[in-house]
Amino acid sequence: MQRSVASTCKKWAVHFPAPRTPSVARAPRWAVLITSRRRVRFLRPSLNSGSDPDGKALSLKILGISGFEGSIPFKRAHWPNLDEREYRISQGHDSAAALVVDGTVVAAVAEERISRRKHTGAFPRGAIAYCLAEAGLGIEDIDELAHGFDYAPYRSVYGVDPVSRDLYREVYSRNALLALVARDVPGFPAERVHHVGHHLAHAASAYYTSGWDECLVVVIDGMGEVQSVTVYHAHAGCLDRIAQIPAHDSIGVLKSKPKCSVTSEYNTPIESCAGICAIRSRRPACAWYTVTLCASPMPSITTTKHSSHPDV
């Protein structure tokens, strides 16, 4: 019996030790086999059931990364006199890396745990090195490197203004990512580097580890590329986008603005903000909420028919 639920994606703060021998998922098509808290298999069996000429089973190794190293430097260069915490109002913080081998999460770590730089958006070379070491692999063993943002569909939008055009070219573009890969992972083939839409990445993480063949996936965050909420109909291994709310109506941004006024960080966890509010005056934040909520119109929701993504 199929079930329909709203799935959310959690950020895991633990790393996963490498298995001694990567195993191949043998569950039915697109089924999820959870063998323990640290082993979640979710790839289609046909993707990793082949063999090499010697008859040895082939394994699929995917390295996922996040972060935009040039985001804050770009903002500093164009607006040098802002308050320090205002530079945090930008995209691509908390860079990280995660390694999946044959559908098994082998290792995952935030770059800040390696570099000791809180909320860093730097290219996660330290996190990549950690994940590879945990699995006993070299970068040449990686089949695909996937970045959790895809701004290519919105290139024309960024081209209407000289500053936004430079932002796209220097920070968000494929060429910008490939330049960082060439610098920190020299020799890695550009054709193995891929971009995944931010909300699609969240939805895939929730759906393919949920255990349901069909469900409703709701992604809500500050913003993806240009959206703040996306709803997907997940079924038969596909994710069909059925509704979307743009970033200018973002609940996450609404939550973050007053947090920035009571803390020094735009992306401070709400728990930390609540603790600080207990010892500071809350009047500025309360006033901001009152004015903003009273003046803002209801969010606009775009319902769309979107193509399936069978190979996420």
pLDDT for position 269: 55
Domains and CATH numbers, the chain: 10-212 (3.30.420.40)
Query: Where on the phi/psi map is residue 61: left (φ > 0), alpha (ψ -120 to 50), or beta?
Result: beta
Active site residues: 93
pLDDT digits (tens, 9 = 90+) for 99-122: 999 888 999 999 999 999 988 999
What's at 45, amino acid-wise?
P
pLDDT digits (tens, 9 = 90+) for 185-209: 999 999 999 999 999 999 999 998 8
CA-based nearest residue to 73, from 61, 90, 59: 90
Average pLDDT taken over every residue of the chain: 75
What's at 106, amino acid-wise?
V
**57 pLDDT band (50/70/90 cuts)?**
low
Report the alpha-carbon distance of residue 205 to residue 3 in Å, rounded.
18
Between 5 and 91, name the one with better pLDDT: 91
List the beta bridge partners of residue 146: 64, 194
Q: What DSSP element (H or E) covers 128?
A: helix 125-135
For residue 62, give the 3-state DSSP assignment.
strand
What's at 148, amino acid-wise?
G
Give me Rg for the CA atoms of the chain.
Answer: 21
Report the alpha-carbon distance of residue 130 to residue 111 in Å, rounded.
10
For tokens 């500093």, name the residue. 76
CB 275 within 8 A of CB 263: no
For residue 243, give the 3-state DSSP assignment.
strand
